[in-house]
Amino acid sequence: MDVCLSIPCDTKATCKDNPAPALDATCTCNTGYEGDGLRTGSGCSDIDACQLNPCHTKATCKDKPAPSLDATCTCNTGYTGDGLNINACLVNPCHAKATCTDNPAPALDATCTCNTGYTGDGLVSGSGCSDMDACLDNPCHAKATCTDNPAPALDATCTCKTGFKGDGSFSGTGCSDINACLVNPCHAKATCTDNPAPALDATCTCETDFAGDGLASGTGCIDQYPMMLKKLGCWADKWLDRTMPSLEGTDKRLDGRHGNGFYMGYMARTDPVKKCYKVAKDRGYKVFAVQDSGECRSSATAGDTYKKHGPSTECIGGEGTAWVNDVYEIMDA
């Protein structure tokens, strides 16, 4: 059934029957007309081209009948020209990074709008358009360098300075000192101290009695204790005429002393030679002795007195024995 036979459309519209099972038709206004095209609706009316203000302010506008889509502009008495409205954008008033929009009549100018990422009045004759510097808002951490991202980007790139790590952003993780000690650059007998940024390394300091650069990849830390002693031999001692006085009970490093006894505690002491060496050295003594498997003896004059009862062959394990001294000279005293 061709619905168009019932003439549902305006006389200025074209009718097109909609295929079955549809029971209606589509009405389309002809060129130069506007409306729904229906006889029972708004129909079709001539499009008034003058509504778009195509004419100059000193001209009279007359719409041309459809199917024409334009109008006739006639300059008023005393004026000459084509009567058309002047497009202010044709004279390129805007900066290269701005968008030009002609202002409708009766205005004679245009609006210049800087593109995304740029700032300014947009005018060639004004401040123009310059890249918007996102760094002016201080988005970066105090230890980061800010680099504005070129327009149309509206943000900046924050890069932590040498020796720091993080995203560099003030609102993010910021920048923190890289702790060079975390990669364990130091020897097991060294203390690691991170060097403040911009340094990327650490300082390795050998513990007391150790020497070297302290680095795991270098000379490390070498125990200096054995190299700082010279063994002077095994020498006899006597109960009533000691070659040098005992230092037991005078320094907490000489551990293991029990009550007023002279030997019971120190006989269980670990590293008795090394501990006696440290105590004697700190007092400025140059010679010391270990007797009876651990007892520490020394004095400022021990170097002159240790031989007075003659040599002995009874020393055991470098720690003497009862009434016999293993005697040592401190080379770094």
State the Cα–Cα distance between residues 177 and 179, nearest whole angstrom. 6
Mean pLDDT rounded to a whole number for the chain = 92
The arithmetic mean of pLDDT across residues 308-318, rounded, is 97
CA distances from 117 to 9, 176, 193 (A): 52, 31, 46
**pLDDT value at position 264?**
61
State the Cα–Cα distance between residues 114 and 128, nearest whole angstrom. 8
Kindly report the CA angle at 227 between 320 and 190, in degrees rounded to 5? 115
pLDDT at position 68 over 60: yes
Give pLDDT tens digits for 197-208. Answer: 999 999 999 998
CA distances from 218 to 2, 182, 184, 195, 211 (A): 100, 18, 13, 18, 12
pTM over 0.95: no
State the Cα–Cα distance between residues 282 and 152, nearest whole angstrom. 72
Q: How many CA atoms lie within 13 A of 91 on its CB side?
A: 12
**pLDDT value at position 107?**
78
Class of the CATH domain delimited by 3-46: mainly beta
The arithmetic mean of pLDDT across residues 250-270, rounded, is 75
pLDDT at position 320 over 60: yes
* Least confident stretch, 48-57, 125-134, 148-157, 277-286: 48-57
Q: Can you spell out the DSSP letters for 8-34?
A: -B-TTEEEEEPPTT---EEEEEPTTEE
pLDDT at position 187 over 90: yes
The arithmetic mean of pLDDT across residues 102-114, rounded, is 86
Q: Give the domain ranges of the chain.
A: 3-46, 88-131, 136-177, 181-221, 226-330
pLDDT at position 259 over 50: no
Return the structure tokens found at 291. Answer: 């007797």
Place 113 in a pLDDT band, splitting at 50, 70 and 90: very high
